[in-house]
Amino acid sequence: MKPATGLTRYRRVVVLALSAALSACATAPTQLNGTLDIQGHRGFRGLYPENTMAGFRAALELQVTTIELDLQITRDGVLVAHHDSSLNSTLCVHDDGRPVEKLRLSQVDFTFLADIDCGSRPNRKFPEQRSVPGERIPQLDEVLKLAEQADYPVHWNIEIKMDDSRRRRTVEEIAALVVESVRAAGLGERTIIQSFDPEVLAVVAELAPEMGRAILTKSPSDFGLQVRNSRATILSPAYDVLSIAIIERYQRRGVAVIPWTVNTPEEMRRLIVAGVDGIISDYPDRVMMVLDEISKESSLVEQRQP
């Protein structure tokens, strides 16, 4: 990604269109690569079970720019898409209806997961989410193969979870496994590795400099230190702590800004106009709708210009 050199015509007309309500955005910066990176969080969690093949396929059908997923590792060294370090009994169940044991993924082999259904149980936080019975915890290799089925160059954002894995394997071992899988799929230049752990990203920078590196963080007071220690190319903060000043500051340094997890149209609009480089959302379809609304408003203002 290259730093922006000034406001584009698109950004100017967006600001004009929204100036009445968002006059503070008059100096909003251009996104680093000129387009908005729309990332489907955990696939498409708003409408499909998280970190499942059904959710990833739905995100592909929607044609999100990037599919975001979480990564854990089993005892026998298989990389799998799952958020929690332990099996999540609120989201997963055995095929025969038995609740899943609260076991850490690092304590079981991949074969243990063969009869676990993570698509049937409703997620109360997402009432619109569809039930997809029989969805398994997928291997990373299986997920990345979806790129072969896509009719556009989909990108990937893989979050390496270190809360439990660190107990059994070193950061270098886990990073090497992830890099190996991504490169085997031919997706090195289309992949971001993200983590709350700066050490993970620093190791990835050495092993795979072609991959993007996103540091996840919450407190603005930590942004600078975290970016430096992780050698991050992307700052990925909680959405509600971002301001135009922060976005500009890091974009001037050539660091993209992609907040998480943005789910309301109001916040999506605020952040797009403020100039973020991307948005991670459980509802990537809403991001597309808001972006389309802004584009139409921009076109309308442009037509009215003398």
Kindly tell me if the per-residue pLDDT of 25 is higher than 90.
no
The 3-state DSSP class for residue 101 equals: coil
pLDDT cut 70: percent of the chain above it: 85
Name the more confident of 3 and 160: 160
Report whether 17 contacts 298 (CB < 8 A): yes
Q: Which of 186, 194, 69, 79 is CA-nearest to residue 141?
A: 79
- Rounded to whole angstroms, the Cα distance separating 217 from 197 reads 9
Q: Which of 34, 22, 10, 12 is CA-nearest to residue 277?
A: 34
> What's the token pair of residue 275?
């100039």
Mean pLDDT of 163-182: 85
Kindly tell me if the per-residue pLDDT of 199 is higher than 70.
yes
Enumerate the β-bridge partners of residue 238.
260
pTM of the model: 0.88
- Sequence-ordered list of residues with C-beta below 8 angstroms from that of 285, at least 6 positions apart, any chain: 44, 46, 47, 62
- Sequence-ordered list of residues with C-beta below 8 angstroms from that of 247, at least 6 positions apart, any chain: 28, 29, 257, 274, 275, 276
Mean pLDDT of 120-132: 96
Q: What is the pLDDT of residue 166?
A: 57
Mean pLDDT of 36-51: 98
Kindly tell me if the per-residue pLDDT of 22 is higher than 60.
no
Mean pLDDT of 160-169: 72
Across the chain, what does the average pLDDT equal? 89
Write the burial class of residue 117 (CB in 10 Å: 0-12 exposed, 13-18 middle, 19+ buried): buried
